């Protein structure tokens, strides 16, 4: 039986289902022992909770990471919040036993958080639910499934994977995780990724369909789980799992290596991220910097614009995590297929050719300036923050953005706030107009980054989401390759670095070509960092140059693709 969910942590896990049971938390038969006794029970349970959680947090900090440990320590702070304690004590004064008081208050907080627009707030509902269950288990003296002692090869099936459950896991024995709730940015997803356990979340009715003892496959890359697979299906997944494990093992050799070609030319290998959590993954994956921070994710899934402080905090945290390594942050890239409802953008006939990205920002300077100020301030924190403008078509846009940036600097100086006076300003090259005027743009900016996802779409005049013309959407087309070559050459001639943050940067078939053109920086998703490093290491400059010479003579995308894929190692 094949089930579909959200692939939250890559890899293929095969094992036997263990359904996660929480202990029976029924307190209906617990008598009320008087206000002072019930308050004392609450206090003692809170102490036990804090001690256990702290020990767990310390272990997690050491084994998994600082941030994961903080998620748990944060639960102690939440439980000890004076307002929450006051509410519980008030309920006890009104005649409720400790369990009932705790349950009532936690439920009301969970409802409050679950209804919030903000994703982080909604995640707090999961934390409060976790606190509630563990506190009730302590008060009632009942045990749930012991997740630190599981049989080897366990596929865990749970309604929700709470932070405390995930971090107590013995990673060696857990082959995969399957849940009924949770999105790709939920705490469970972040933790599953940090543990490198394949996970598929939000599978409807997973707990009813998956029975204890069943064989299950979890394909975290595809977001698919297979229960009781047929023998040939199982054999197929086993082969894929072996391949995945072997590749992962081999790739580890590249983790702390510099990125260089077989004959020693060093290039930069960065990661693309959408938020602070991804920056951690990028570092763990061995990225040397951030080549694209898609800030639009900070603006999505909420009711109103994020303010300067919130943005500053996100940018600062990424810069701090990257500890001086380059962090290229792209300004708001809204429009096209990225709609942000509260901005009230008008419907357009051709949204990809419409009022999007830098165009929207320049027409809404007040919104744009909030982001520029946050970026300038984050740049003052010792990190190496750089600003990148999306969808640029010409020099005027750069000049207008720079003028706003200068205004922001003056305002910040007037307020006595620290900022990076010399912050670098670069542009994405993702329109034919920018590619064709790269020589002119190069005089006005500090760096380029080629966005092949859009550059292919606009060069080929093909909507990247339209299946009927998908065959024309190919980066292997001679037109797209010529555009890339020309942009890199223009950057080189002007002495500015040129990177690539479109998906093509991670394509093994294109890597020799990009090396031949002289690309300085490859920016890929965290999961592709080590693979890209391995492919780069397999090419000598001369071989790559020779291949490029031949390929650039080929007249069709099909021939180019065939030739490059035939060479891919
Ligand atoms: C691109 O267009 O190549 C790019 C990196 O930007 P996005 O995919 O966010 O449009
Ligand atoms: Mg783009």
DSSP sequence for 257-270: S--B-TT--B-EEE
Residues with CB under 6 A from ligand 1: 292, 294, 333, 430, 451-454, 501-502
- Half-sphere exposure of residue 502, counting CA atoms within 13 Å on the CB side? 26
Average pLDDT, the chain: 90
β-pairing verdict for 498-500 and 447-450: parallel
Active site residue 535: no
Place 519 in a pLDDT band, splitting at 50, 70 and 90. very high
d(CA 279, CA 315): 10
- pLDDT tens sequence across 273-286: 988 888 988 998 89
- pLDDT tens sequence across 342-398: 888 888 989 899 999 999 999 999 999 999 999 999 999 876 999 999 999 999 999
Residue 481 neighbours by CB under 8 Å, 6+ apart: 475, 513, 551, 552, 560
> Closest Cα to atom 3, ligand 1: which residue?
451
Instruction: Using the predicted structure, report yes or no on whether residue 185 has a pLDDT greater than 60.
Output: no
- Residues within 5 A (CB) of ion ligand 2: 430, 451, 454
Tokens for 455?
């550059």
Collapsing DSSP to helix, strand or coil, 272 comes out as strand
- Half-sphere exposure of residue 295, counting CA atoms within 13 Å on the CB side? 32
Which region among 127-136, 283-292, 296-305, 516-525 has the lowest average model confidence (pLDDT)? 296-305
190 or 511: which carries more pLDDT confidence? 511
Place 166 in a pLDDT band, splitting at 50, 70 and 90. low
Place 167 in a pLDDT band, splitting at 50, 70 and 90. low
Q: Mean pLDDT across the stretch 115-122?
A: 74
- Residue 292 alpha carbon, nearest atom of ligand 1: 5
d(CA 150, CA 169): 8
Ligand with smallest separation from the Cα of 451: 1
Q: Tell me what pLDDT residue 346 has.
A: 86
264 or 112: which carries more pLDDT confidence? 264
Q: Is residue 227 within 8 Å of 214, Cβ to Cβ?
A: yes
Pick from 451, 462, 464, 505 the residue to mutate for probing ligand 1's pocket: most ligand atoms within 8 Å of its CB: 451
- pLDDT tens sequence across 64-84: 677 777 888 888 999 999 999
Q: Tell me what pLDDT residue 126 has.
A: 79
Q: Tell me what pLDDT residue 150 has.
A: 86
Q: Tell me what pLDDT residue 358 has.
A: 98
% of the chain beyond a pLDDT of 70: 94
Q: Tell me what pLDDT residue 170 has.
A: 74
Ligand with smallest separation from the Cα of 272: 1
Give buried/exposed letters for 161-175 (b at 16+ CB in 10 A, else e). Answer: bbbbbbbbbeeebbb
Cα four-point dihedral sign 165, 168, 173, 175:
positive
Place 505 in a pLDDT band, splitting at 50, 70 and 90. very high
d(CA 37, CA 95): 12
% of the chain beyond a pLDDT of 90: 64
Give the max Cα distance, the chain: 88
CA of 125 to the centre of ligand 2 (A): 34
Residue 172 neighbours by CB under 8 Å, 6+ apart: 152
The CA distances from residue 405 to 409, 475, 492, in Å, are 6, 34, 26
Place 22 in a pLDDT band, splitting at 50, 70 and 90. low
d(CA 45, CA 384): 46
Q: Tell me what pLDDT residue 261 has.
A: 97
Place 402 in a pLDDT band, splitting at 50, 70 and 90. very high
Active site residue 501: yes
CA of 390 to the centre of ligand 2 (A): 7
- Residue 503 alpha carbon, nearest atom of ligand 1: 3
Which region among 160-164, 472-476, 519-523 has the lowest average model confidence (pLDDT)? 160-164
Instruction: Using the predicted structure, report yes or no on whether residue 183 has a pLDDT greater than 70.
Output: no
- Half-sphere exposure of residue 286, counting CA atoms within 13 Å on the CB side? 17
Which region among 337-341, 452-456, 515-519 has the lowest average model confidence (pLDDT)? 337-341
Q: Mean pLDDT across the stretch 529-540?
A: 95
Residue with tokens 């207008």: 400
Q: Mean pLDDT across the stretch 82-95?
A: 94
Which of 187, 361, 408, 535 is catalytic? The answer is: 187
> Closest Cα to atom 9, ligand 1: which residue?
294
> Closest Cα to atom 1, ligand 1: which residue?
451
């Amino acid at each position: 039986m094949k089930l579909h969910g959200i692939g939250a942590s890559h890899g293929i896990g095969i094992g036997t289902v263990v359904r996660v049971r929480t202990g029976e938390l029924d307190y209906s038969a617990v008598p009320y022992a008087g206000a002072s006794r019930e308050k004392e029970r609450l206090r003692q349970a809170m102490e036990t909770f804090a001690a256990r959680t702290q020990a767990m947090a310390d272990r997690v900090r050491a084994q998994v990471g600082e941030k994961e440990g903080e998620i748990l320590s944060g639960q102690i702070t939440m439980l000890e919040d004076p307002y929450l304690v006051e509410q519980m004590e008030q309920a006890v004064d009104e005649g409720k036993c400790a369990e009932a008081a705790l349950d009532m208050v936690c439920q009301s907080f969970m409802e409050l958080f679950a209804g919030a627009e903000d994703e982080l707030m909604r995640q707090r509902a999961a934390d409060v639910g976790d606190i509630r269950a563990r506190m009730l288990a302590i008060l009632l003296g009942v045990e749930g499934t012991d997740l630190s002692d599981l049989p080897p090869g366990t596929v865990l099936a749970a309604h929700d994977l709470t932070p405390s459950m995930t971090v107590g896991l013995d990673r060696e024995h857990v082959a995969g995780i399957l849940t009924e709730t949770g999105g790709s940015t939920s705490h469970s997803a972040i933790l599953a990724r940090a543990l490198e356990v394949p996970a598929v979340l939000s599978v409807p009715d997973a707990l009813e369909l998956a029975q204890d003892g069943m064989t299950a496959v979890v394909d975290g890359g595809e977001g698919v789980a297979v229960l009781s697979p047929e023998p040939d299906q199982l054999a197929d997944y086993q082969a894929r799992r072996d391949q995945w494990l072997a590749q992962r093992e081999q790739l580890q050799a590249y983790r702390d290596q510099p990125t260089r070609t077989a004959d020693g030319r060093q290039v930069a290998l960065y990661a693309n991220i959408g938020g602070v959590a991804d920056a951690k993954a990028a570092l763990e994956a061995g990225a040397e910097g951030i080549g694209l921070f898609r800030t639009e994710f900070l603006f999505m899934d909420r009711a109103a614009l994020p303010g300067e402080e919130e943005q500053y905090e996100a940018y600062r945290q990424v810069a701090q995590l990257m500890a001086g390594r380059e962090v290229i942050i792209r300004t708001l890239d809204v429009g096209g297929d990225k709609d942000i409802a509260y901005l009230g953008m008008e419907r357009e006939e051709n949204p990809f050719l419409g009022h999007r990205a830098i165009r929207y920002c320049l027409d809404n300077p007040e919104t744009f300036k909030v982001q520029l100020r946050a970026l300038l301030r984050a740049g003052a924190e010792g990190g190496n923050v750089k600003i990148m403008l999306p969808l640029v078509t010409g020099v005027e846009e750069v000049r207008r953005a720079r003028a706003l940036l200068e205004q922001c600097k003056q305002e910040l100086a007037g307020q006595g706030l620290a900022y990076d006076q010399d912050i670098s300003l670069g542009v994405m090259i993702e329109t034919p107009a920018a590619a064709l005027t790269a020589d002119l743009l190069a005089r006005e900016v500090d760096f380029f980054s080629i966005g092949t996802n859009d550059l292919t779409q606009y060069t080929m005049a093909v909507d990247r989401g339209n299946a009927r013309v998908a065959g024309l959407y190919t980066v292997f087309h001679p037109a797209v390759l010529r555009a890339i070559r020309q942009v890199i050459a223009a950057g080189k001639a002007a002495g500015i670095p040129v990177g690539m943050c479109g998906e093509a940067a991670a394509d093994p078939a294109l890597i020799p070509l990009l090396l031949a053109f002289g690309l300085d920086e490859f920016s890929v998703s965290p999961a592709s960092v080590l693979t890209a490093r391995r492919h780069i290491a397999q090419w000598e400059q001369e071989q790559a140059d020779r291949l490029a010479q031949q390929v650039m003579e080929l007249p069709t995308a099909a021939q180019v693709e065939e030739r490059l894929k035939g060479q891919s190692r």
